[in-house]
Structures are given as structure tokens and as C-alpha cells.
Amino acid sequence: MKEYPIQPGAEPFYFEGSDIGVLVSHGFTGTTQSMFYLGHYLAEKGGFTVIGPRLKGHGTTPADMAESTAEDWVRSVEHAMEKLQTRCRKIFITGLSMGGTLALYMAAMYPEVFAGAAPINGAVFLKNPGLASLAYGLGLPETVPGVGSDIKQPGIVELAYPVVPVPAVRQIYALMGATQDLLPRIVCPMLVFQSRVDHVVHPSNAPFIFENVSSADKTLVWLEDSYHVATLDNDKELIAGELLKFIHRLAG
């Protein structure tokens, strides 16, 4: 299989700390750059062990992503989980966009592993007829314009692909559908973040997630000053602070 070089800034990261672990996942077409501030904050302020995997096919080239599947992305997160399991007594998971979708998927599939989950603008559906037609249509182009850098704060740019490979659109629809079906299996404490104005993931995802998980301990936090890539936007400190409190409360 062809090896693709990793873009500078898209490398996976790992901060060794306490026996409390946090897995942070970036989103669709994005990179670990979008999660580095949050990961570093949790390691520095909380002293936690934090891992930020690079999802397969991301941070390299769109051609690499076109060859990657939803199963590959799940495996990328599973490998990070397994690394945390070797040294951590409690593990939490968070993620942005599709990373939030993966956080939900993992919380449903591994209820014995995760002590809490915190999706940030996570998607279990997309209200985008154009993307839906790409997922299920025929005779399509290889790529379409990208979805990165939906950021309110001027001058901040997300490291993400400028285009989306059409095969990857089919894969994210498969992942969202599977995750939506799994929501009732989620029982761990939940902290759901959602930007009030989000041009990529419709904000109605958050109430849907909130209402359909089986968690008794759950909180929905609306982000009033950020667009989709909230972990790089005006509310990044709010997200980091709320997540720190959430983990401290549950870590024991």
C-alpha cells in the first residue's frame, strides 16, 4: 500500500500524565492541528494523559483519504484507546465534527472503557442535499470543494484538505448512520457542545444526540461565539475549561 507523507502540523500527539486518559479526535478532512490547543490544555491544566490520533487518510493527501473507510477511522481511534488502556484507570473521549461522531460511536461500542464523552459539533446527520447526492449518486466527480475553516475569528485557518474526495462522503454517511442507531446504547456521562451558528453540521444535531442517548448525567452547552471549528475559534477556552471541570468531577 502506498505511503503518503504527513503534512507538517498534522502529526498525532501524545502527552504523558496521570492515570486519567483523554482521547481527542479531529474531524472529517481535518487534522490534529484543530485539537492541539484542547489536548495541550487538558494535559497542562489537568495533568491528564492525552492522545490525539491522526485518522487514516487525513493530514496527507486527498488521494489517501479517498482510499480510507469509516472502519479505518474507527480503527485509528481504537488504537489510541488501546494505548491509553495500558496506563489509565479512567478514559474520556472528545472530538470535533466527525471526531465527535467517533466519540459517540466509541462510547456506544465500549461502554466499559469510557467514563465520559464530549462531542463538539458532532454529526449524526447532515442537512445538506448536495452532499447526500454525492454519497448516493452515480457519474460523480472525484472531489468537491472542502468544508474546512468554518471559523468566526478572523485570521484563524484550519489545516484541512481544500477538497473532499467523493468516496469519503459515502463513508461519513455510513458512519453517521451507524452512530445514530447506536445513540441509545450510550450510558456514560455526556457533555455535548454545539455552536449556535454552524455552517457545516446543522445545530439540530446536538438536541437530537442529547435526547437520544441513555445517559442520566448529560449537559448541553451552546457555543455562542464560534462557527464549526470551535476548538480553534472564540469559544476554545470555554470548551477547554468546561471539559476540564467535567473530567475532574468524574475522575474521582
Binding residues for substrate: 28, 98
pLDDT of 246: 99
User: Which residues are marked as active site?
Assistant: 97, 198, 228
Per-residue pLDDT of 114-163, as tens digits, reads 999 999 999 999 877 667 677 666 667 888 888 778 999 999 999 999 99
What per-residue confidence (pLDDT) applies to 247?
99
* DSSP class of 230: G
- pLDDT average, residue stretch 224-238: 98
Q: Write out pLDDT tens, residues 4-56.
A: 999 999 999 999 999 999 999 999 999 999 999 999 999 999 999 999 999 99
Which class would CATH give 13-251?
alpha beta
* 173 closest CA partner among 132, 129, 145, 204: 132
Q: Tell me how far the alpha carbon of residue 178 is from its chain's centroid.
A: 15
The Cα–Cα gap between 108 and 88 comes to: 20
Render pLDDT for 179-214 as a digit per residue (tens, 0 to 9). Answer: 999 999 999 999 999 999 999 999 999 999 999 999
Residue stretches of the annotated binding site: 28, 98
- The predicted pLDDT at position 1 comes to 61
Hey, where are the domains in the chain? 13-251
Query: Looking at residue 101, what is its pLDDT?
Result: 99
Residue 242 has pLDDT above 80, yes or no: yes
pLDDT digits (tens, 9 = 90+) for 43-62: 999 999 999 999 999 999 99
pLDDT score recorded for residue 235 = 99
Write down the pTM of the prediction: 0.96
Beta carbons within 8 Å of 38's beta carbon, 6+ residues apart? 24, 94, 231, 236, 239, 240, 243
Q: So what's the pLDDT on residue 145?
A: 84
Q: What is the pLDDT of residues 68-109, one digit of tens each?
A: 999 999 999 999 999 999 999 999 999 999 999 999 999 999
